[in-house]
Amino acid sequence: MDAYKSSVDFAEATAFLSHACYEQDKMALRATLKNKSILSGLLSRLSSCSSHGRVCVSPVLVAQRRNNSTSPKLKVDFNQSTGVAVMHMQNPPVNSLSLGFLTEFCIAVEKLEMDKSCRGLILTSSQPKVFSAGLDIMDMYGKKLEQYEEFWRAVQEMWLKLYSSNMVTIAAINGSSPAGGCLMSLSCDYRIMADNPRYSIGFNETQFGIVVPVWCKEAMTTIVGHRNTELTLELGLLYNPSDALKIGLVDQLVPEDQVLATATKTMTKWLAIPDHARRITKSMMRKPTIDKIMSIREADMQQYISFISKDSTQKMLGTYLEMLKKKRG
Amino acid sequence: MDAYKSSVDFAEATAFLSHACYEQDKMALRATLKNKSILSGLLSRLSSCSSHGRVCVSPVLVAQRRNNSTSPKLKVDFNQSTGVAVMHMQNPPVNSLSLGFLTEFCIAVEKLEMDKSCRGLILTSSQPKVFSAGLDIMDMYGKKLEQYEEFWRAVQEMWLKLYSSNMVTIAAINGSSPAGGCLMSLSCDYRIMADNPRYSIGFNETQFGIVVPVWCKEAMTTIVGHRNTELTLELGLLYNPSDALKIGLVDQLVPEDQVLATATKTMTKWLAIPDHARRITKSMMRKPTIDKIMSIREADMQQYISFISKDSTQKMLGTYLEMLKKKRG
Amino acid sequence: MDAYKSSVDFAEATAFLSHACYEQDKMALRATLKNKSILSGLLSRLSSCSSHGRVCVSPVLVAQRRNNSTSPKLKVDFNQSTGVAVMHMQNPPVNSLSLGFLTEFCIAVEKLEMDKSCRGLILTSSQPKVFSAGLDIMDMYGKKLEQYEEFWRAVQEMWLKLYSSNMVTIAAINGSSPAGGCLMSLSCDYRIMADNPRYSIGFNETQFGIVVPVWCKEAMTTIVGHRNTELTLELGLLYNPSDALKIGLVDQLVPEDQVLATATKTMTKWLAIPDHARRITKSMMRKPTIDKIMSIREADMQQYISFISKDSTQKMLGTYLEMLKKKRG
């Protein structure tokens, strides 16, 4: 297989770095991450305000406009009879993984995890054309050291929670899913993607001078192997659904309007397996990776803070944001 | 590749857990496993009795009827001129891996291993339609702790002996090969399977609430990669020959009547390689896995005993056996 | 996939073990390997003499005739404007990796590595029909222990330099590339091969009773996975370009006259990625393997010396060389 050709053309590669404000969510996050058992009341503390985000469909770059909404960024539909929860991400316009969103996400997953009647989780997007655009660039620019730490801890937490979930987790990828969105998908047990050639999935970080964390590499390697991971991460490749299927980055393609229905049907098959046996097996498969990540978690944090707070990194991000502003005119 | 679709339908998945009596073999096993250098006379001590097993071809479950035969469970044809031994498994009706069978198997492999004139081993089945149905459920039900230990040590030993063999080992898979049968196949250097869509190979343990040991996962990962292993083990997948070939679970498919002939022909090619170089290379490829397994062997034993002796596990197996009895009515 | 069938027929497998003299290069090598910072003047010290090598196109074995030339074994074209160096291997007749060649190669790579304006390296051959025939058998036969050590250190160094290079490295494989030539290719970031079915690539060592070093296995496993590596190394397989592409041993096939042009075009795409991000990512992907190798480097050395200085090994190599002489009659 010509892995190189199977990637999208560089010139067409699209960045989905995005940003959103999340002022009201910070206290909630702090409480969550410092004391994960305190779940009560956090969601209700998120104050509400009007949203005025919109998708900027520049041919080269898409980024999230300021979005002051702190209305729930997730809609969770839990079906008691099937034991399956569907989590709709609704952080307009592109489900960027802001500190606020990640906080809400971690709380929601933990809630379901603790509910013994919930056995399966389907993750999907309420936003058109995008599953998730990845990490919110606004949480990575012009902040204090402790804010960078807070954000990165939330990113680590999101991955750990999803990757080590006892539930069956299925990503119903109904839109583009670059960078952090791809990581989120990779953390699930199974990936179903809309067969729309305009959507893409992968890790385009290096194209913008950014480097993915090592746990991203570990998780991806277990799915698509070392060589595909090497090519993807070094070249910052995004794949169209058909190429993503070829290398195993997603498991199945279906027409766009059947993504959720197929996820639901697939979930039934996974839930036919006795829970305890499936869980022990899942742990057997993933524990080595989780253990490795846990052992380097603080080193990874220091590495991130050091990298993101560098003058050169901040300057690069600043230039990038300026460019976005001008594009919007 | 849609790994999910390439699996057999759950509803059609067939369990091959089986059972057979082996009372007369126990002393032999104990001697073998406690002092592996004592090989003499063990086979002759196996007393003989009439067999009245038959294959139960229920559409859902196949299990081995009580089979009191202790006639040799293996027929070994060693061709001095080619240096190749063909080992025919003949533990009717479905070559279940009972304590008795495993004992005889380990002794036979060790005998060949110590014979310098024997360079290659072809493993095949004398039973129609099945290569091996996997571990004998009767050795896992209603026994004493030391009996569980004895059985599991024999299972570990079988895998270690085959996986670390200096001989070229080829599995001539002329029938279905689920669970333990698949493990046996995976331990060989090369796998040739009968191209009969009614046959299947894989690990269906989770479908019955059972979990494969970690060394099973390690060995499978080296053959088909992490992702295929994850899907197979978590969902308890059995593959038809064509799908097994696609993911690399077997190396070659041939018409049913040519399985043994092809194995013999393939063996000639492997034996064209100077033994010492091939053996050192084989060790280089497999030693890391073997070392890992050896280091956790006792932990694996404790885990097995703890799991199998649990009330819930025993109850589940009991229910399963009751169901089989009724089916046979 | 039938990995076995996708290999070339054993009978057609061709050994490219070769030999060349290198007397004048030894002092240079010693200086290089003992004090890697002393680069100056080494190349100029290589004295010159006439070459009278020719390719011996025996259908079964190809080996290099004595070649007394110590004229530069490499031609390096560095394009300042693109930042790309093209390194043409010209060690007639088959670019055997002799001590002299390896010395010159390591010096040249280090020179480019230290030149900040050089961002990419394309490795190709000036010799017809062959990329590199692998290690020079003359450096492995009839020498003193310290000479074996010297040679093997150069082999290790070549691999380490190439595998851990900060530059983008592309192998433009315009001919056969067995054994050491394959290792050289595998150390690069990307492999483009001439689509000529008469060329082959792989590791045929076991066919001659030789075993590849463990780092060869480690590197290959990251590219084509464990199973393909196991089959290749144990059976000593060489693949034609089409089969090499199928298992991922090369990334792309192009017509023979377009290999270098395609490599140049591909390099442009790799260099479009910001250097620092690509380098950190490359290090993240390769550091675990490099660390592992560094930790066993001396053990690997002792193993090599012990193996190569054995009477049986030397006798085998002697017989092989005699056979070559007779063939040339």
Instruction: Note the pLDDT tens digit of each residue in B306-327.
Output: 999 999 989 988 988 888 788 7
Contact A234/C273, CB-based, under 8 Å? yes
Secondary structure class of B111 (helix, strand, coil) = helix
Q: Between C189, C223, C281, which is nearest A211 by CB?
A: C281
Q: Alpha carbon C303 to chain centroid distance? A: 20
Give the pTM: 0.82
- Which positions of B are annotated as active-site residues? 135, 180, 204-205
pLDDT of C228 strictly over 90? yes
Instruction: Rounding to the nearest 10 degrees, give the CA dihedral for residues C117, C121, C127, C133.
Output: 140
Please say whether the beta carbons of B53 and B18 come within 8 A: no
Q: CB-side exposure of B210: number of CA atoms within 13 Å?
A: 26
Maximum alpha-carbon separation in chain A: 56
What is the enclosing helix (H) or strand (E) of B215? helix B214-235
Secondary structure class of B67 (helix, strand, coil) = coil
Taking the CB of residue C325, how many other CB atoms lie within 10 A of it?
A: 9
Instruction: Note the pLDDT tens digit of each residue in A134-189.
Output: 999 999 999 999 999 999 999 999 999 999 999 999 999 999 999 999 999 999 99
Work out the pLDDT band at A55, boundaries 50, 70, 90.
Answer: very low
pLDDT of C239 strictly over 60? yes
Which region among A46-55, C70-79, C94-103, C194-203 has the lowest average model confidence (pLDDT)?
A46-55
Percent of chain B with pLDDT over 90: 73
A270 contact partners, CB below 8 Å, separation of at least 6: A120, A168, A170, A189, A190, A278, B234, B235
Instruction: Note the pLDDT tens digit of each residue in A267-296.
Output: 999 999 999 999 999 999 999 999 999 999
Query: Can you tell me the mean pLDDT for B103-116?
Result: 97
Chain B residues with CB under 8 Å of A189 CB are 234
Query: Can you tell me the mean pLDDT for C199-208?
Result: 95
Q: What is the DSSP string of A201-238?
A: EE--GGGGT----HHHHHHHHHHHHHHHHHHHHHHT-E
C35 catalytic per annotation: no
Please say whether the beta carbons of A184 and C252 come within 8 A: no
Work out the pLDDT band at B229, boundaries 50, 70, 90.
Answer: very high
Query: Can you tell me the mean pLDDT for B161-186?
Result: 98
B329 contact partners, CB below 8 Å, separation of at least 6: none
- Structure token pair of residue A129: 């054309």
| Domain residue ranges of chain C, discontinuous segments joined by + | 74-319
Mean of per-residue pLDDT scores for chain C? 82
Give the CATH superfamily of B74-319.
Answer: 2-enoyl-CoA Hydratase; Chain A, domain 1 (3.90.226.10)
Which residue out of A42, A205, A240, A317 is catalytically annotated?
A205
Q: What is the pLDDT of residue A70?
A: 56
DSSP C30: H
Q: What is the pLDDT of residue A329?
A: 62
Cα–Cα distances in angstroms (integers) from residue C149 to residues B277, C143, C301, in the given order: 21, 10, 7
Nearest CA-CA distance, residue B10 and chain A, Å: 8
Contact A211/C274, CB-based, under 8 Å? no
Please say whether the beta carbons of C138 and C88 come within 8 A: no
What CA–CA distance (Å, rounded) separates C96 from C104? 13
- Structure token pair of residue B301: 């034993």
Q: What is the DSSP string of A106-168?
A: HHHHHHHHH-TT--EEEEEESSTTBS--EEBGGGSSS--HHHHHHHHHHHHHHHHHHHT-SSE
CA-based R_g, chain C, Å: 19
**Residue found under tokens 């109904």:** A174
Q: Which residues of A71-80 are buried (b: 16+ CB within 10 A; e: fewer)?
A: eebbeeebee
Cite the beta strand spans of C255-326 per DSSP E.
none
Which of C284, C287, C291, C292 to mutate: most A Cβ within 10 Å?
A: C284
pLDDT of B53 strictly over 50? no
Nearest CA-CA distance, residue B319 and chain A, Å: 15
A67 contact partners, CB below 8 Å, separation of at least 6: A20, A21, A51, A52, A53, A91, A92, A93
Instruction: Note the pLDDT tens digit of each residue in B263-281.
Output: 999 999 999 999 999 999 9
Q: What is the pLDDT of residue A140?
A: 95
Choose among C40, C108, C39: nearest CA to C73.
Answer: C108
What CA–CA distance (Å, rounded) separates B140 from B157? 17
Instruction: Note the pLDDT tens digit of each residue in A68-115.
Output: 445 799 999 999 999 999 999 999 999 999 999 999 999 999 999 999
What CA–CA distance (Å, rounded) separates B63 from C255? 57
Q: CB-side exposure of B29: number of CA atoms within 13 Å?
A: 25
Q: What is the pLDDT of residue C70?
A: 55
Sign of the Cα torsion A159, A163, A167, A168 reads: positive
- Structure token pair of residue C295: 């930790």
Strand partners, A18: A136
- Terminal Cα distance for chain C, rounded: 43
Q: Between A252, A272, A278, which is nearest B4 by CB?
A: A252
What CA–CA distance (Å, rounded) separates A70 from A50? 8
Contact B4/A280, CB-based, under 8 Å? no
What is the enclosing helix (H) or strand (E) of B79? strand B74-79
- ipTM for the predicted complex comes to 0.81
Which of B285, B290, B291 to mutate: most C Cβ within 10 Å?
A: B285
pLDDT of A24 strictly over 50? no
Q: With 0-12 CB in 10 A as exposed, 13-18 as middle and 19+ as buried, what is A52?
A: exposed
- Structure token pair of residue B141: 């039900």
Contact A211/C282, CB-based, under 8 Å? no
Query: Can you tell me the mean pLDDT for B40-51?
Result: 26
Q: What is the pLDDT of residue B329?
A: 63
Q: What is the pLDDT of residue B306?
A: 95
Maximum alpha-carbon separation in chain C: 56
Strand partners, A55: A64
pLDDT of B116 strictly over 80? yes
Instruction: Note the pLDDT tens digit of each residue in C281-293.
Output: 999 999 999 999 9
What CA–CA distance (Å, rounded) separates A125 from C41? 64
What CA–CA distance (Å, rounded) separates A68 from A52? 7
Query: Can you tell me the mean pLDDT for A16-32?
Result: 33
Sheet with C168-173, strands from edge to edge, namely C74-79, C84-89, C120-125, C168-173, C190-194, C252-254
Please say whether the beta carbons of B301 and B308 come within 8 A: no
Q: What is the pLDDT of residue A208?
A: 85
Torsions phi, psi of C198, nearest 5?
-85, -15
What CA–CA distance (Å, rounded) separates A313 from A317? 6
Query: Can you tell me the mean pLDDT for C60-85?
Result: 72
Chains that touch A (3 or more CB pairs under 8 A): B, C
What CA–CA distance (Å, rounded) separates C26 from C32? 10
Contact B226/A252, CB-based, under 8 Å? no
Chain A residues with CB under 8 Å of B1 CB are 245-246, 248
